[in-house]
Amino acid sequence: MDQDEILLDTEERMEKAAAMLQSQLQGIRTGRATPALVDSVRVDVYGAQSPLKQLASVTVQEGKTLVVRPFDPGTISAIVKAIQTSEVGLTPNSDGRLVRINVPPLSTERRRQMVARVKELAEEARVAIRNVRRDGNKHAEQLEKEKLCTEDDLKALKEQVQELTKNYEARANDLAAAKEKEVMED
């Protein structure tokens, strides 16, 4: 692995950590209805666990209601059961053709719990980013041990890895701050 490969690998892995945080934050409930709330729901149909979005279209109606329209009406009871047993914490209502999910406003206490969860996820992302930095620095030190780069090159490479770390940690902090603000809004 040469210096460019180390930097590229490090940046790629840090990008994955930031993308993972972003996807986890989309599933955190705010006061508004959004199809992302049910993205993590997996439905047991046709003998397999399938993501809800592969079995139905999910839309927002009147800002506070999610409407789930199954592609196959025969899966409606399995979809209702999956939403009820998921960690989403919402109650689905079915009329036989589609499923409506009312998204009630969050209490102040629940909002605080959500913000705490956002902070946990952001810290997990920052730890993942720092672990990638550690790995990048190990690879760089290995290059120097194998006499494939000079001490000055090693120092410059470590500085570049540190710069990437700062940028991705800042991105994780920005994502978390934006989600906290969204959760605390009425």
Could you report the per-residue pLDDT of 49-77, keeping only the tens digit for each? 888 888 899 998 887 888 999 998 888 88
Q: Are the beta carbons of 59 and 70 closer than 8 angstroms?
A: no
Percent over 70 (pLDDT), the chain: 99
Residue 127 is encoded by which pair of tokens? 């730890």
Max Cα–Cα distance, the chain, nearest Å: 70
Torsion 78-84-85-89 (CA) sign: positive
Going by pLDDT thresholds of 50, 70 and 90, the confidence category of residue 160 is: very high
Selection from 9, 8, 20 nearest residue 125 by Cα: 20
Q: Which residues pair with 51 in a beta bridge?
A: 42
* Helices 151-184 & 108-145 angle (0-180, nearest 10): 170
> Which CATH fold topology does 35-102 show?
Gyrase A; domain 2 (3.30.1360)
Answer yes or no: CATH 1.10.132.20 is held by domain 3-26+107-184.
yes
Backbone φ, ψ for residue 51 (5° rounding): -65, 145
* All structural domains of the chain with their residue ranges: 3-26+107-184, 35-102
